[in-house]
Amino acid sequence: MRFYNQVHRFYCGIDLHARSMYLCILDQAGAILLHQNFAADPNALRQAIAPYRDGLVIAAECMFAWYWVADLCRDEGIPFVLGHALYMKAIHGGKTKNDKIDAHKIATLLRGGTLAQAYVYPKGMRETRDLLRRRSFLVRQRALLIAHIQNEASQYNLPAFAKKLSYAANREELQVAEHFADPSVKLSIQTDLALIDAYDQQLGTLELYLASHAKIDDGNTFHRLRSIPGVGKILALILLYEIHDIRRFAGVGQFLSYARLVRGCHESAGKKKGAPGKKIGNAHLKWAFGEAACLLVRHSARAKAWLARKEKKHCKAKALAILAAKLGRTVYHLWRKGEVFDENRVFGS
Protein backbone atom coordinates (compact mmCIF):
# COMPACT_ATOMS: atom_id res chain seq x y z
CA MET A 1 0.00 0.00 0.00
CA ARG A 2 1.40 3.39 -1.03
CA PHE A 3 0.27 6.64 0.59
CA TYR A 4 0.51 10.10 -0.91
CA ASN A 5 2.26 12.27 1.68
CA GLN A 6 3.59 15.29 -0.21
CA VAL A 7 2.84 18.75 1.19
CA HIS A 8 0.78 21.29 -0.80
CA ARG A 9 -0.97 24.58 -0.16
CA PHE A 10 -4.41 23.27 -1.13
CA TYR A 11 -5.97 19.81 -1.16
CA CYS A 12 -8.94 19.03 -3.40
CA GLY A 13 -11.06 15.91 -2.92
CA ILE A 14 -13.55 14.99 -5.64
CA ASP A 15 -16.46 12.59 -5.16
CA LEU A 16 -16.80 11.82 -8.85
CA HIS A 17 -19.80 10.47 -10.71
CA ALA A 18 -20.75 10.13 -14.37
CA ARG A 19 -22.74 13.39 -14.52
CA SER A 20 -21.79 15.24 -11.33
CA MET A 21 -18.86 15.80 -8.98
CA TYR A 22 -18.71 17.16 -5.45
CA LEU A 23 -15.59 19.20 -4.72
CA CYS A 24 -14.01 19.92 -1.36
CA ILE A 25 -10.88 22.08 -1.14
CA LEU A 26 -8.93 22.39 2.12
CA ASP A 27 -5.96 24.54 3.04
CA GLN A 28 -2.96 23.35 5.05
CA ALA A 29 -4.76 24.05 8.34
CA GLY A 30 -7.76 21.96 7.29
CA ALA A 31 -10.15 24.87 6.77
CA ILE A 32 -12.79 24.32 4.08
CA LEU A 33 -12.36 26.80 1.23
CA LEU A 34 -14.80 25.24 -1.25
CA HIS A 35 -17.51 22.64 -0.71
CA GLN A 36 -19.90 22.50 -3.64
CA ASN A 37 -21.53 20.25 -6.21
CA PHE A 38 -20.74 20.77 -9.93
CA ALA A 39 -21.53 19.16 -13.24
CA ALA A 40 -18.90 16.64 -14.34
CA ASP A 41 -17.42 18.94 -16.96
CA PRO A 42 -13.78 19.99 -17.57
CA ASN A 43 -14.65 23.68 -17.83
CA ALA A 44 -16.61 23.57 -14.57
CA LEU A 45 -13.63 21.97 -12.83
CA ARG A 46 -11.21 24.54 -14.25
CA GLN A 47 -13.38 27.44 -13.04
CA ALA A 48 -13.88 25.90 -9.59
CA ILE A 49 -10.17 25.37 -8.89
CA ALA A 50 -8.96 28.58 -10.59
CA PRO A 51 -8.46 30.59 -7.33
CA TYR A 52 -6.43 27.72 -5.80
CA ARG A 53 -4.27 26.63 -8.75
CA ASP A 54 -0.99 27.64 -7.10
CA GLY A 55 0.04 24.65 -4.95
CA LEU A 56 -3.08 22.54 -5.58
CA VAL A 57 -3.31 18.74 -5.59
CA ILE A 58 -6.42 16.84 -6.68
CA ALA A 59 -7.56 13.38 -5.58
CA ALA A 60 -10.46 11.17 -6.69
CA GLU A 61 -11.51 7.62 -5.95
CA CYS A 62 -10.71 4.98 -8.55
CA MET A 63 -13.97 4.46 -10.42
CA PHE A 64 -14.94 4.25 -14.08
CA ALA A 65 -15.04 8.01 -14.82
CA TRP A 66 -11.63 9.16 -13.59
CA TYR A 67 -9.90 9.25 -16.99
CA TRP A 68 -10.91 12.76 -17.98
CA VAL A 69 -9.95 14.23 -14.59
CA ALA A 70 -6.47 12.66 -14.76
CA ASP A 71 -5.98 13.89 -18.33
CA LEU A 72 -7.10 17.41 -17.42
CA CYS A 73 -4.72 17.54 -14.45
CA ARG A 74 -1.86 16.34 -16.66
CA ASP A 75 -2.60 19.00 -19.27
CA GLU A 76 -2.88 21.73 -16.62
CA GLY A 77 0.21 20.61 -14.70
CA ILE A 78 -1.72 19.78 -11.52
CA PRO A 79 -0.67 16.77 -9.38
CA PHE A 80 -3.37 14.09 -9.47
CA VAL A 81 -3.78 11.25 -6.97
CA LEU A 82 -6.01 8.26 -7.68
CA GLY A 83 -7.37 6.71 -4.50
CA HIS A 84 -7.43 2.92 -4.23
CA ALA A 85 -11.11 2.00 -3.88
CA LEU A 86 -10.58 -1.15 -1.77
CA TYR A 87 -8.24 0.64 0.65
CA MET A 88 -10.37 3.78 1.08
CA LYS A 89 -12.64 2.28 3.72
CA ALA A 90 -12.68 5.54 5.63
CA ILE A 91 -15.04 7.15 3.11
CA HIS A 92 -17.40 4.15 3.09
CA GLY A 93 -17.85 3.91 6.86
CA GLY A 94 -19.91 6.15 9.10
CA LYS A 95 -23.54 6.49 10.08
CA THR A 96 -24.28 9.01 7.34
CA LYS A 97 -22.83 8.93 3.85
CA ASN A 98 -23.38 11.26 0.90
CA ASP A 99 -21.39 13.03 -1.79
CA LYS A 100 -20.65 16.05 0.38
CA ILE A 101 -19.25 13.95 3.22
CA ASP A 102 -17.27 11.71 0.86
CA ALA A 103 -15.59 14.66 -0.88
CA HIS A 104 -14.53 16.07 2.50
CA LYS A 105 -13.18 12.69 3.62
CA ILE A 106 -11.13 12.32 0.44
CA ALA A 107 -9.64 15.79 0.89
CA THR A 108 -8.91 15.06 4.57
CA LEU A 109 -7.17 11.75 3.76
CA LEU A 110 -5.14 13.53 1.08
CA ARG A 111 -4.12 16.30 3.47
CA GLY A 112 -3.23 13.85 6.25
CA GLY A 113 -1.05 11.65 4.03
CA THR A 114 -3.28 8.59 4.50
CA LEU A 115 -4.78 8.33 1.02
CA ALA A 116 -3.88 4.93 -0.47
CA GLN A 117 -2.79 5.35 -4.08
CA ALA A 118 -3.82 3.41 -7.16
CA TYR A 119 -1.79 3.51 -10.35
CA VAL A 120 -2.70 6.29 -12.78
CA TYR A 121 -2.38 4.47 -16.08
CA PRO A 122 -1.20 7.07 -18.62
CA LYS A 123 -3.11 8.12 -21.68
CA GLY A 124 -1.96 6.47 -24.89
CA MET A 125 -1.59 2.84 -23.83
CA ARG A 126 -4.65 3.08 -21.56
CA GLU A 127 -7.05 2.96 -24.50
CA THR A 128 -5.34 -0.12 -25.94
CA ARG A 129 -5.45 -1.83 -22.55
CA ASP A 130 -9.21 -1.21 -22.33
CA LEU A 131 -9.65 -2.66 -25.83
CA LEU A 132 -7.71 -5.74 -24.74
CA ARG A 133 -10.00 -6.13 -21.73
CA ARG A 134 -12.99 -5.78 -24.03
CA ARG A 135 -11.60 -8.61 -26.12
CA SER A 136 -11.52 -10.82 -23.01
CA PHE A 137 -15.19 -10.04 -22.41
CA LEU A 138 -16.07 -10.99 -25.99
CA VAL A 139 -14.16 -14.27 -25.65
CA ARG A 140 -16.21 -15.13 -22.58
CA GLN A 141 -19.45 -14.38 -24.42
CA ARG A 142 -18.34 -16.65 -27.27
CA ALA A 143 -17.56 -19.41 -24.78
CA LEU A 144 -21.06 -19.10 -23.32
CA LEU A 145 -22.56 -19.65 -26.78
CA ILE A 146 -20.47 -22.79 -27.33
CA ALA A 147 -21.43 -24.08 -23.89
CA HIS A 148 -25.11 -23.48 -24.70
CA ILE A 149 -24.87 -25.65 -27.83
CA GLN A 150 -23.25 -28.45 -25.85
CA ASN A 151 -25.80 -28.14 -23.06
CA GLU A 152 -28.66 -28.35 -25.54
CA ALA A 153 -27.30 -31.67 -26.81
CA SER A 154 -27.08 -32.97 -23.24
CA GLN A 155 -30.55 -31.67 -22.40
CA TYR A 156 -32.13 -33.82 -25.13
CA ASN A 157 -29.76 -36.77 -24.50
CA LEU A 158 -28.26 -36.48 -27.97
CA PRO A 159 -24.82 -37.78 -29.00
CA ALA A 160 -21.91 -35.63 -27.90
CA PHE A 161 -20.01 -33.72 -30.55
CA ALA A 162 -16.91 -35.57 -31.72
CA LYS A 163 -14.81 -32.42 -32.18
CA LYS A 164 -14.39 -29.13 -30.34
CA LEU A 165 -16.81 -26.48 -31.53
CA SER A 166 -14.32 -23.71 -30.76
CA TYR A 167 -12.74 -24.34 -34.18
CA ALA A 168 -14.61 -23.01 -37.21
CA ALA A 169 -13.89 -26.09 -39.34
CA ASN A 170 -15.55 -28.32 -36.76
CA ARG A 171 -18.64 -26.13 -36.66
CA GLU A 172 -18.98 -26.33 -40.43
CA GLU A 173 -19.13 -30.11 -40.17
CA LEU A 174 -21.87 -29.90 -37.55
CA GLN A 175 -25.14 -31.06 -39.06
CA VAL A 176 -27.75 -29.31 -36.99
CA ALA A 177 -30.60 -31.30 -38.56
CA GLU A 178 -29.11 -34.59 -37.40
CA HIS A 179 -28.67 -33.45 -33.83
CA PHE A 180 -31.70 -31.25 -33.25
CA ALA A 181 -34.98 -32.20 -34.84
CA ASP A 182 -37.27 -29.63 -33.20
CA PRO A 183 -37.52 -26.44 -35.33
CA SER A 184 -37.33 -24.11 -32.32
CA VAL A 185 -34.23 -25.81 -30.93
CA LYS A 186 -32.69 -25.89 -34.38
CA LEU A 187 -33.21 -22.14 -34.82
CA SER A 188 -31.71 -21.49 -31.38
CA ILE A 189 -28.57 -23.46 -32.29
CA GLN A 190 -28.31 -21.78 -35.69
CA THR A 191 -28.48 -18.41 -33.95
CA ASP A 192 -25.66 -19.44 -31.62
CA LEU A 193 -23.53 -20.58 -34.55
CA ALA A 194 -24.12 -17.31 -36.42
CA LEU A 195 -23.12 -15.29 -33.35
CA ILE A 196 -20.00 -17.42 -32.82
CA ASP A 197 -18.94 -16.79 -36.43
CA ALA A 198 -19.48 -13.05 -35.92
CA TYR A 199 -17.43 -13.12 -32.72
CA ASP A 200 -14.62 -14.97 -34.50
CA GLN A 201 -14.46 -12.30 -37.19
CA GLN A 202 -14.40 -9.43 -34.70
CA LEU A 203 -11.87 -11.14 -32.42
CA GLY A 204 -9.54 -11.76 -35.34
CA THR A 205 -9.66 -8.08 -36.25
CA LEU A 206 -9.03 -7.01 -32.65
CA GLU A 207 -6.09 -9.35 -32.20
CA LEU A 208 -4.35 -8.09 -35.34
CA TYR A 209 -4.86 -4.50 -34.19
CA LEU A 210 -3.59 -5.22 -30.65
CA ALA A 211 -0.52 -7.11 -31.83
CA SER A 212 0.46 -4.30 -34.21
CA HIS A 213 0.05 -1.68 -31.46
CA ALA A 214 2.09 -3.76 -29.00
CA LYS A 215 5.03 -3.69 -31.40
CA ILE A 216 4.75 0.09 -31.55
CA ASP A 217 4.25 0.70 -27.80
CA ASP A 218 6.95 -1.67 -26.54
CA GLY A 219 7.95 -4.22 -29.16
CA ASN A 220 11.12 -5.38 -27.37
CA THR A 221 9.30 -6.29 -24.17
CA PHE A 222 6.50 -7.92 -26.18
CA HIS A 223 8.98 -10.24 -27.89
CA ARG A 224 10.86 -10.98 -24.65
CA LEU A 225 7.61 -12.06 -23.01
CA ARG A 226 6.92 -14.37 -25.93
CA SER A 227 10.27 -16.07 -25.32
CA ILE A 228 8.67 -17.83 -22.33
CA PRO A 229 7.56 -21.32 -23.46
CA GLY A 230 3.78 -21.42 -23.79
CA VAL A 231 3.30 -17.65 -23.68
CA GLY A 232 1.72 -16.75 -26.99
CA LYS A 233 0.44 -13.54 -28.49
CA ILE A 234 -2.59 -13.07 -26.22
CA LEU A 235 -0.85 -13.78 -22.91
CA ALA A 236 2.05 -11.54 -23.89
CA LEU A 237 -0.41 -8.76 -24.71
CA ILE A 238 -2.14 -9.11 -21.34
CA LEU A 239 1.16 -9.04 -19.45
CA LEU A 240 2.44 -6.08 -21.45
CA TYR A 241 -0.60 -3.84 -21.07
CA GLU A 242 -1.63 -4.80 -17.54
CA ILE A 243 1.87 -4.24 -16.15
CA HIS A 244 2.74 -1.29 -18.45
CA ASP A 245 5.92 -0.26 -16.60
CA ILE A 246 7.74 -2.72 -14.36
CA ARG A 247 9.69 0.13 -12.76
CA ARG A 248 6.60 1.26 -10.88
CA PHE A 249 7.17 -1.71 -8.55
CA ALA A 250 10.04 -1.13 -6.14
CA GLY A 251 10.58 -4.83 -5.59
CA VAL A 252 9.46 -8.22 -6.80
CA GLY A 253 7.30 -8.67 -3.69
CA GLN A 254 5.18 -5.65 -4.60
CA PHE A 255 4.75 -6.99 -8.11
CA LEU A 256 3.67 -10.44 -6.91
CA SER A 257 1.19 -8.83 -4.54
CA TYR A 258 -0.23 -6.70 -7.35
CA ALA A 259 -0.60 -9.79 -9.55
CA ARG A 260 -2.41 -11.67 -6.73
CA LEU A 261 0.30 -14.33 -6.67
CA VAL A 262 0.88 -14.17 -2.89
CA ARG A 263 -1.64 -14.51 -0.09
CA GLY A 264 -2.42 -11.82 2.44
CA CYS A 265 -2.15 -12.38 6.18
CA HIS A 266 -3.66 -10.61 9.17
CA GLU A 267 -2.03 -11.08 12.56
CA SER A 268 -2.80 -9.72 16.00
CA ALA A 269 -1.07 -10.54 19.30
CA GLY A 270 0.91 -13.25 17.54
CA LYS A 271 -2.23 -14.97 16.22
CA LYS A 272 -3.23 -15.25 12.58
CA LYS A 273 -6.63 -13.78 11.78
CA GLY A 274 -7.05 -15.19 8.28
CA ALA A 275 -5.91 -14.30 4.78
CA PRO A 276 -8.18 -11.55 3.43
CA GLY A 277 -7.59 -9.18 0.54
CA LYS A 278 -7.96 -11.78 -2.19
CA LYS A 279 -9.55 -9.23 -4.51
CA ILE A 280 -6.87 -6.60 -4.01
CA GLY A 281 -4.66 -6.60 -7.09
CA ASN A 282 -5.00 -7.18 -10.81
CA ALA A 283 -7.37 -10.02 -11.68
CA HIS A 284 -6.20 -10.06 -15.31
CA LEU A 285 -2.60 -10.73 -14.27
CA LYS A 286 -3.72 -13.42 -11.84
CA TRP A 287 -5.48 -15.24 -14.68
CA ALA A 288 -2.62 -14.69 -17.14
CA PHE A 289 0.05 -16.13 -14.85
CA GLY A 290 -2.17 -19.10 -14.01
CA GLU A 291 -2.63 -19.86 -17.70
CA ALA A 292 1.06 -19.29 -18.41
CA ALA A 293 2.05 -21.76 -15.68
CA CYS A 294 -0.14 -24.50 -17.18
CA LEU A 295 1.16 -23.84 -20.69
CA LEU A 296 4.77 -23.74 -19.47
CA VAL A 297 4.40 -27.25 -18.09
CA ARG A 298 2.98 -28.38 -21.42
CA HIS A 299 5.84 -26.91 -23.48
CA SER A 300 8.82 -27.42 -21.15
CA ALA A 301 10.03 -30.82 -19.93
CA ARG A 302 12.08 -29.19 -17.16
CA ALA A 303 9.05 -27.29 -15.91
CA LYS A 304 7.05 -30.51 -15.93
CA ALA A 305 9.73 -32.29 -13.88
CA TRP A 306 9.94 -29.32 -11.46
CA LEU A 307 6.16 -29.41 -10.99
CA ALA A 308 6.22 -33.17 -10.35
CA ARG A 309 8.72 -32.66 -7.52
CA LYS A 310 6.53 -29.95 -5.97
CA GLU A 311 3.44 -32.16 -6.23
CA LYS A 312 5.10 -34.72 -3.94
CA LYS A 313 5.22 -32.08 -1.20
CA HIS A 314 2.05 -30.15 -2.05
CA CYS A 315 -1.15 -30.86 -3.92
CA LYS A 316 -1.28 -30.20 -7.66
CA ALA A 317 -3.25 -26.95 -7.31
CA LYS A 318 -0.76 -25.49 -4.82
CA ALA A 319 2.17 -26.65 -6.92
CA LEU A 320 0.73 -24.80 -9.93
CA ALA A 321 0.22 -21.70 -7.76
CA ILE A 322 3.87 -21.86 -6.69
CA LEU A 323 4.90 -22.20 -10.33
CA ALA A 324 2.75 -19.17 -11.27
CA ALA A 325 4.48 -17.12 -8.56
CA LYS A 326 7.86 -18.33 -9.79
CA LEU A 327 6.88 -17.29 -13.29
CA GLY A 328 5.85 -13.88 -11.94
CA ARG A 329 9.32 -13.40 -10.44
CA THR A 330 10.84 -14.44 -13.76
CA VAL A 331 8.79 -11.91 -15.70
CA TYR A 332 9.72 -9.17 -13.24
CA HIS A 333 13.46 -9.77 -13.56
CA LEU A 334 13.62 -10.38 -17.30
CA TRP A 335 11.61 -7.19 -17.88
CA ARG A 336 13.83 -5.06 -15.63
CA LYS A 337 17.06 -6.53 -16.99
CA GLY A 338 15.93 -6.63 -20.62
CA GLU A 339 16.67 -10.34 -21.00
CA VAL A 340 14.90 -13.31 -22.56
CA PHE A 341 13.65 -16.42 -20.78
CA ASP A 342 16.38 -18.84 -19.68
CA GLU A 343 15.34 -22.27 -18.37
CA ASN A 344 18.74 -22.84 -16.74
CA ARG A 345 18.35 -19.80 -14.51
CA VAL A 346 14.67 -20.45 -13.74
CA PHE A 347 14.83 -24.15 -12.85
CA GLY A 348 18.50 -24.53 -11.91
CA SER A 349 20.49 -27.66 -12.63
Residues paired with 104 in a beta bridge: none
Q: Is residue 17 domain-shared with residue 110, that is, in the same domain?
A: yes
Q: What is the mean predicted confidence (pLDDT) over 161-173? A: 80
In a domain, 61, yes or no: yes
Work out the number of other CB atoms within 10 angstroms of the CB of residue 210.
Answer: 20
In a domain, 190, yes or no: yes
> For residue range 212-246, what is the model confidence (pLDDT) as tens digits?
999 999 999 999 999 999 999 999 999 999 999 99
In a domain, 223, yes or no: no
User: Considering the entire predicted model, what is its pTM?
Assistant: 0.89
In a domain, 305, yes or no: yes
Distances (CA, A) of 259 to 117, 126, 255, 332: 16, 18, 6, 11
Asked if residues 9 and 33 have their Cβ atoms less than 8 Å apart, the reply is no
Residue-number span of the structural domain to which 342 is assigned? 233-265+280-347
Q: Select from 118, 148, 170 the last residue of a domain.
A: 118
Q: Is residue 294 domain-shared with residue 254, that is, in the same domain?
A: yes
> For residue range 34-55, what is the model confidence (pLDDT) as tens digits?
999 999 999 999 999 999 999 9
- Can you give the pLDDT at residue 228? 95
Q: Is residue 113 domain-shared with residue 25, that is, in the same domain?
A: yes
- Can you give the pLDDT at residue 322? 95
In a domain, 20, yes or no: yes
Task: Give dist(CA 302, CA 308) in Å, integer.
Answer: 10
Among 252, 232, 214, smallest CA distance to 334 is for: 252
Among 96, 90, 99, smallest CA distance to 38 is for: 99
Q: Select from 67, 92, 118 the last residue of a domain.
A: 118
> In sequence order, which residues have a C-beta less than 8 Å from that of residue 101 and are 6 or more positions away?
91, 94
CATH number at 8 reads 3.30.420.40
Q: Is residue 245 domain-shared with residue 171, that is, in the same domain?
A: no
In a domain, 50, yes or no: yes
Residues paired with 81 in a beta bridge: 59
Task: Give dist(CA 39, CA 16) in Å, integer.
Answer: 10
In a domain, 259, yes or no: yes
Q: Is residue 240 domain-shared with residue 343, that is, in the same domain?
A: yes
Count of domains for the chain:
3
> For residue range 172-188, what is the model confidence (pLDDT) as tens digits?
766 555 677 788 988 89
Work out the number of other CB atoms within 10 angstroms of the CB of residue 324.
Answer: 22
> In sequence order, which residues have a C-beta less than 8 Å from that of residue 244 and are 6 or more positions away?
119, 121, 122, 125, 129
- Can you give the pLDDT at residue 195? 95
**DSSP 8-state secondary structure symbol assigned to residue 6:** -
Q: Is residue 93 domain-shared with residue 145, that is, in the same domain?
A: no
- Can you give the pLDDT at residue 160? 79
Long-range Cβ contact pairs of 47-54 (< 8 A, separation 24 or more) = 48/23, 49/12, 49/23, 49/25, 49/78, 52/9, 52/10, 52/12, 52/25, 53/78, 54/9
Residue count (the chain): 349
Q: 3-class SS at 345?
A: helix
Share of the chain above pLDDT 90, in %: 75
Q: Is residue 106 domain-shared with residue 49, that is, in the same domain?
A: yes
Q: 3-class SS at 261?
A: coil
Work out the number of other CB atoms within 10 angstroms of the CB of residue 58.
Answer: 27
Q: Is residue 130 domain-shared with residue 193, that is, in the same domain?
A: yes
- Can you give the pLDDT at residue 194? 92
Q: Select from 118, 144, 160 the last residue of a domain.
A: 118
Q: Is residue 190 domain-shared with residue 134, that is, in the same domain?
A: yes
Q: Is residue 8 domain-shared with residue 114, that is, in the same domain?
A: yes
